[in-house]
């Protein structure tokens, strides 16, 4: 129950600056929602969803991104009850709930009785950051991809997504077209990097979102027959070097499943350090 000074409401373009200031209280952890606010101005037509905020005495103190991803913003475990009802109203459109593990656990405890069972629960995902040059040499053959690489790159992106998420991005009606468009968009922005041999893609990774404070990396993948050669380490060193040296962002971040020991070891060799723990529920 809200106290007298509190209000929970959907945010709009007029709240953009206040929401970005909220996200900037922890700008690397909140890079996704910060990026979304900057490119959409919190306009629902571009968000494909809504962002809600909790105000205390007129000050925005916490938020919740509600689209394909439900993402709490600067919430404590005690804040999540304020967003439970609006989350439940949009549960059919949410594919994942992701954020700091303690907040996700608290939110799920509240909404679980009225929500579908998750397809998968990843309760411990180290959130990693690096803001200095990599500790290992960058792979010299990892480069920005171009539109001419699409036909070779796209199958590798589908393979990575299917391996990581457990379902193909081409499974839904129109899903293939949407995912292909996303890959093309990342290439066009200069956010897709890969290396190739005669058999196709060897290593690939993408920058998913960028703010003045951080760039978040996703989709790190090495072709199965080339695994065990240290390519993820040198490949990620190339990605980090490009992001930092180009001035794209001062920090590179990502989060990884705790059970993915080879990936965690590779990121540690590059110089990534854990700064938080995430959790993801997949539906």
Strand partners, 138: none
Q: What is the mean pLDDT of the chain?
A: 95
When pLDDT is cut at 50, 70 and 90, the band that residue 173 belongs to is low
At residue 5, the pLDDT reads 64
Q: Is the pLDDT of residue 36 over 60?
A: yes
- Convert the pLDDT of each residue in 236-280 to its tens digit: 999 999 999 999 999 999 999 999 999 999 999 999 999 999 999
Mean local confidence (pLDDT), 119-138: 97
Homologous superfamily of the 130-275 domain (CATH) = Gcn5-related N-acetyltransferase (GNAT) (3.40.630.30)
Integer angstrom CA distances of residue 193 from 59, 73, 264: 41, 29, 20
Q: Give the integer Cα–Cα distance in Å for 222 and 230.
A: 10
Distance, CA of 74 to CA of 61 (rounded, Å): 7
pLDDT band at 176 (very low <50, low <70, confident <90, very high): confident
State the pLDDT at residue 83.
95
Fold (topology level) of 6-116: Aminopeptidase (3.40.630)
Collapsing DSSP states into helix, strand and coil, what is residue 255?
strand
CA distance 44 to 26: 24
Residues spanned by CATH 3.40.630.30 within the chain?
130-275
Looking at residues 56-67, what average pLDDT do you find?
Answer: 95
Nearest in space to 243 (alpha carbons), one of 214, 273, 280, 201: 214
* Ranges assigned E (strand) in 141-266: 143-144, 192-197, 200-210, 215-222, 252-255
């Amino acid at each position: 129950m809200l106290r007298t000074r509190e209000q929970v409401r959907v945010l709009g373009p007029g709240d953009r600056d206040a929401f970005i200031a909220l996200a900037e209280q922890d700008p690397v952890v909140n890079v996704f929602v910060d990026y979304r606010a900057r490119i959409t101005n919190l306009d629902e037509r571009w968000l494909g969803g809504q962002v809600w905020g909790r105000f205390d005495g007129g000050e925005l103190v916490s938020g919740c991104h509600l689209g394909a991803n439900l993402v709490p913003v600067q919430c404590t475990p005690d804040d999540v009850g304020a967003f439970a009802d609006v989350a439940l109203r949009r549960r059919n459109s949410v594919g994942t709930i992701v954020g700091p593990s303690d907040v996700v656990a608290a939110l799920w405890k509240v909404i679980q009785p009225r929500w579908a069972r998750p397809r998968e629960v990843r309760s411990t995902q180290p959130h990693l950051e690096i803001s200095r040059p990599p500790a290992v040499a960058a792979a010299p053959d990892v480069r920005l991809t171009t539109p001419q690489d699409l036909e070779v790159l796209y199958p590798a992106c589908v393979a990575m997504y299917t391996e990581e998420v457990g379902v193909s991005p081409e499974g839904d009606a129109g899903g293939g077209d949407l995912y292909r468009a996303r890959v093309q968009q990342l290439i066009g922005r200069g956010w897709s990097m890969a290396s190739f041999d005669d058999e196709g893609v060897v290593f690939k990774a993408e920058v998913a979102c960028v703010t003045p404070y951080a760039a978040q990396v996703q989709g790190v993948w090495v072709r199965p027959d080339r695994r065990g050669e240290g390519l993820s380490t040198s490949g990620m060193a190339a990605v980090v070097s490009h992001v930092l040296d180009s001035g794209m962002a001062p920090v590179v971040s990502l989060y990884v499943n705790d059970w993915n020991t080879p990936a965690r070891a590779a990121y540690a060799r590059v110089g990534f350090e854990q700064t938080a723990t995430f959790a993801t529920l997949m539906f």
